[in-house]
Structure 1
């Protein structure tokens, strides 16, 4: 089976990368941090106009008419630049919540445990907010929430007395699978970006008269980062093609590991400089921590995989 990207898929990825490079560069990232991770409504609408949220909607419904393999390519690029906002939830809400596909509405979700909701204060709708849990993804009114401190300055959180993503079936069954896969794609993008940051810094920073990248320990760190990121990317791409629940769970596990460990290794390569606000490395680590808890945690993914393996051996 040929899993190589088609020319159209490569063009799609390049187009999204160019859009984000021009619209969400380093200065925009810093501005987002200063704004506490607030959603840039102008950029949100631009993403909607570019088809980011309506990518998988049928053309007859005003969408782009593509599938999950294309969606993971797009979300990978968003992960590379640490684009803030409930991207996955708004994408999932396209065609269901008015304005989501066009980017004129911001939709968040109960995709974190403990009743936590990201970007609640800016949201126009919340997926899975009905009480009791029902098939409808949109509640008539937004739930009230109490702000809580977030590990990631780009992901403001509120705690609300409503169900978590794991409780919102039957609608959420396929929703959680897709949400987990797209979140894994964001993690892969972040992991690949930290590889780039580590390699670049290792080539620039000098100790004992030579770049630190010449030292074996640093080479090994960068090599391990690359292997984890590429393995996770392969798993995410494959799961997007098969859309198998167990493969999606495995892809999320690998992507979370690649993003978290990759950011930690990147910090080690940077040394103390990586912990400063001048570097974006620590932002990748903090976002990776939050994403690892979204849609499907490691424990949930492991349970799903274990059940699949036990079922296959029965």
Structure 2
């Protein structure tokens, strides 16, 4: 099977990259981070609120950017043209979300994209979040709950958390069924929206992993120690090579899963992409040394966002169970 991109797909990817570079480049990312830092400077508490009872995370969604994404067709990529959409398929959506992952684009992108066509206004800029990543029976995390125009599912009793990623506010859903978190996770993960959400999460992780690989290589070429670029040292070369060796198999798996939409393929893609994003960001930190952990660096932001994404539906445990079930079924 040939997974090389067509000319139209390459043009779409470049178009999304250009849009995001113009509207959410590094300066915009740092500005959003500074706004969140200032708003959350009142002193966070364990319950996710500041001393006055307000939100300690300080995250506010850029509604102007959100509407521009809607106008550009980001959320309506897979809707038919007759329904006001772009009329493209899952592979094209994966390319768009890969670009979103590269720039750490904030917001409930996946939930809003999946709601387009079913929730009025979602395709053009309404902010949609879903509690389906956990649900009252399982507990779980909900991203961007306070910014939602529409909440799908039951988010009653959700408690705010202090997020590890400063640009992803989180709420935790209560466990109300008496069952420990995670029961029934595999069955829930096989619903169509859960599968698509897991694949699009993998696409975001892939974009982030590719970007941290680029950042590491750029730094290795320009940062000098002992009168020579650090990229000349074998230990640094190995780190960069390992990052690339994780990115490319993840890319092949994510692209393949977008074509087949097979649950086992999606599970494999998610595992590879999660690993590439988390381990790649860690290796990128090592290439940067202590400066990678500083607030001025973007590397730690990729690691924190990658950690948050691993907690979404279809994460490591669910994906491993899906692949195990597929293997057992194949040998029965």
Q: TM-score scaled by structure 2?
A: 0.86
Contact 1:191/1:229, CA 8 A, preserved across alignment:
yes
* In 1: Cα distance, 2:11 partner to 2:296 partner: 32
Contact 2:108/2:127, CA 8 A, preserved across alignment:
no
**SS state at 1:4 partner:** coil
1:146: how far off?
2.1
Contact 1:98/1:105, CA 8 A, preserved across alignment:
no
1:226: how far off?
0.7
* In 1: Cα distance, 2:313 partner to 2:188 partner: 15
- 2:147 matches 1:122: yes
- 2:109 matches 1:87: yes
**SS state at 2:106 partner:** coil
Instruction: Mark the runs of 5 or more structure 2 residues left unpaired by the alignment.
Output: 37-57
**SS state at 1:195 partner:** helix
- 2:196 matches 1:182: no
Contact 1:110/1:116, CA 8 A, preserved across alignment:
no
CA RMSD of aligned residues (A): 2.0
Contact 1:39/1:122, CA 8 A, preserved across alignment:
yes
* In 2: Cα distance, 1:114 partner to 1:214 partner: 48
* In 2: Cα distance, 1:233 partner to 1:29 partner: 25
* In 2: Cα distance, 1:77 partner to 1:18 partner: 10
| Equivalent residue number for residue 33 of structure 1 | 33
1:207-252 deviation line (CA, Å, top 9, x unaligned): 1110000111101100110110111011000000000000000000
* In 2: Cα distance, 1:114 partner to 1:27 partner: 36
* In 2: Cα distance, 1:87 partner to 1:215 partner: 40
| Equivalent residue number for residue 61 of structure 1 | 83
- 2:124 matches 1:75: no
* In 2: Cα distance, 1:108 partner to 1:281 partner: 28
* In 1: Cα distance, 2:278 partner to 2:26 partner: 21
1:2: how far off?
2.0
1:301: how far off?
0.5
- 2:120 matches 1:98: yes
1:185-228 deviation line (CA, Å, top 9, x unaligned): 00000000000100011111101110000111101100110110
* In 2: Cα distance, 1:58 partner to 1:172 partner: 24
Contact 1:128/1:172, CA 8 A, preserved across alignment:
no
Contact 1:108/1:119, CA 8 A, preserved across alignment:
no
1:88-125 deviation line (CA, Å, top 9, x unaligned): 01000001111111113343443256332111000112
Q: How many residues align?
A: 302
**SS state at 1:101 partner:** helix
| Equivalent residue number for residue 217 of structure 1 | 235
* In 2: Cα distance, 1:40 partner to 1:282 partner: 22
Over 3 Å counting, the alpha-carbon distance change for 1:171 and 1:223 in structure 2 is: closer
Contact 1:58/1:64, CA 8 A, preserved across alignment:
yes
* In 2: Cα distance, 1:205 partner to 1:114 partner: 45
Over 3 Å counting, the alpha-carbon distance change for 1:9 and 1:123 in structure 2 is: same
Over 3 Å counting, the alpha-carbon distance change for 1:198 and 1:287 in structure 2 is: same
Write out aligned runs for 1:1-314 (5 A).
Answer: 1-34=1-34, 35=36, 36-112=58-134, 114-129=139-154, 143-161=156-174, 173-314=191-332
* In 2: Cα distance, 1:307 partner to 1:45 partner: 41
* In 1: Cα distance, 2:268 partner to 2:312 partner: 15
Q: TM-score scaled by structure 1?
A: 0.91
1:71: how far off?
0.4
Instruction: Mark the runs of 5 or more structure 1 residues left unpaired by the alignment.
Output: 130-141
1:144: how far off?
4.6
1:169: how far off?
7.5
